[in-house]
Amino acid sequence: MSGRKTSVACAFRPPGLRAGAAAAAVALVALVAAGTARRLRATKTSPPHHRDVTRAVVPAA
């Protein structure tokens, strides 16, 4: 070695890294979709007095 190189290139990828990353991405999308669906369903099916608790009520001027 001449001592001129200051970095090392490494192309190693552990087995299953891409499959694991893809599975994690799918799980994250599923969680976000489930949370969004739950929130939308809750606002559409709850009685009006429950919905007003979470919304700011502006008095009429």
Check if the beta carbon of residue 43 is closer than 8 Å to that of residue 36. Answer: no
* pTM of structure: 0.51
Tell me: the pLDDT tens digits for 20-56? 999 999 999 999 999 998 888 876 666 555 555 555 6
DSSP class of residue 12?
Answer: -
- Structure confidence at residue 47 (pLDDT): 59
pLDDT higher for 57 or 24? Answer: 24
Burial 16-33 (b: 16+ CB within 10 A, else e): eeeeeeeeeeeeeeeeee
